[in-house]
Amino acid sequence: MAVYTEVSFDEAASFLQSLGLGPLQTITACAGGIENTNYFVDTGQGRYVLTLFERLTFEQLPFYLHLMKHLAQRGIPVPEPQAAPTAAGHGEPGDILHSLKGKPAAVVNLLRGRSELAPTPVHCAVVGEMLAHMHLAGQDYPRQQANLRGLAWWNNTVPVVLPYLRPDQTRLILSELAYQNHVAASSAYRALPRGPVHADLFRDNVLFDSEGGAPVLTGIFDFYFAGWDALLFDIGVSLNDWCVDLATGVHDAARAEAFIAAYQTVRRLIPQERTLLPAMQRAGALRFWTSRLWDKHLPRDAAVLQAHDPEHFERVLRQRVAHPYSLQS
């Protein structure tokens, strides 16, 4: 999260009152992530996250917000967008997409729990199982919108970041981009099951609590990279974060096997998914290496911003190319 558009206490208080969320007590800028302006807000009715969208448009945002509503109504622990009770200058009654300071805005409830940044195989199993439930819950979601950070975006963005790369990095990123275009043209890829995917299910986007000493998943948030894509891409992205050593990008077999085994207790992978899992892990690494290079070398101004290290996903990609993960039978 970051702060590109500063919102004063009085501006936030008026906005939240118009949504029927009670008087504002505190507002705190969020310092994680890099895409949108985010604040934690406390009101007389509860704790919320106020988001102003800096890149996504009024036309694009209904897909994300209604997806969260859809999943929440099916028992998936995701933040639920708060609807406007009256027109009040911020939208029609029932709207979950609002406007603040000329930007699209949303308010969601703040979920309980905390992120687990050093997950065990048990945590990975819990996440894998919930991801499968989320994929199934999204199958009847009526809206479709392409993954805006998918292959078309990689093809457009990689040339933009090439001037900032060393020769060995240039060779790697161009080789991988060519490989992903080849995979996308294959019949096996076209056969992959599709639906709404989170596409950013990292450790810091999941919350846990504890019950009887066991981790319980209490929240999945930050859906603003979601889109309609291969469900396997979601799995590949998740494995690249939950099941690697962060310092080296080396694959952690115990965590990966726990994740996949738990996922398959809910939704079995088809043969094409089993075959293309290594390719989708490479796709996930390419996607985040490219976006982090873009954010680093072509940054936007923000009052609070913590940029991510692009070299991490370069390491992950090199590891996935050199040591592909094959599913156990």
**With 80 as the cut, is the pLDDT of residue 300 above it?**
no
Centroid of chain to Cα 66: 16
Predicted confidence band at 328 (pLDDT cuts at 50, 70, 90)? confident
pLDDT for 87 beyond 70? no
Between 92 and 171, whose confidence is greater? 171
How many Å apart are CA 5 and CA 13, to the nearest integer? 16
Confidence at 252, pLDDT banded by 50, 70, 90: very high
pLDDT digits (tens, 9 = 90+) for 147-185: 999 999 999 999 999 999 999 999 999 999 999 999 999
Report how far apart, in Å, the C-alpha atoms of 115 and of each of 32, 123, 127, 208 are.
Answer: 12, 11, 12, 6
pLDDT the model gives residue 31 = 72
pLDDT in tens, 95-118: 999 999 999 999 999 999 999 999
Beta bridge partner(s), residue 43: 24, 46
pLDDT at 213 over 60: yes
pLDDT greater than 50 at residue 1: no
pLDDT in tens, 186-206: 999 999 999 999 999 999 999
| Interatomic CA distance for residues 314 and 34, integer angstroms | 19
Kindly list the structural domains of the chain, giving each domain's residue range(s) and its CATH number in brackets, ordered by start: 9-109 (3.30.200.20), 121-299+307-322 (3.90.1200.10)
Number of C-alpha atoms within 13 angstroms, CB side, residue 37? 21
More confident residue, 62 or 30: 62
46 three-class SS: strand
**Average pLDDT rounded to a whole number, residues 64-82:** 97
The pLDDT of residue 2: 62
pTM value is: 0.93
| Average confidence score pLDDT of the chain | 93
Placement of tokens 């905390």 in the chain: 114
* pLDDT tens-digit readout, 312-326: 999 999 999 999 998
Amino acid code (one letter) for 75:
G
What's the helix, strand, coil split of the chain in %, to 5?
Answer: 45, 20, 40
pLDDT in tens, 54-71: 999 999 999 999 999 999
Query: In which band, very low, low, confident or very high, does the pLDDT at 86 lie, cut at 50, 70 and 90?
Result: low
Give the pLDDT score at 6: 94
What is d(CA 215, CA 126) in angstroms, rounded to the nearest whole number?
Answer: 8
Q: What are phi and psi of 196, to 5 degrees?
A: -70, 130
Please determine, for residue 34, whether its predicted confidence score (pLDDT) is greater than 80. no
Q: What's the pLDDT score for residue 303? A: 47
pLDDT of residue 306: 61
User: What is the structure's pLDDT at 90?
Assistant: 47
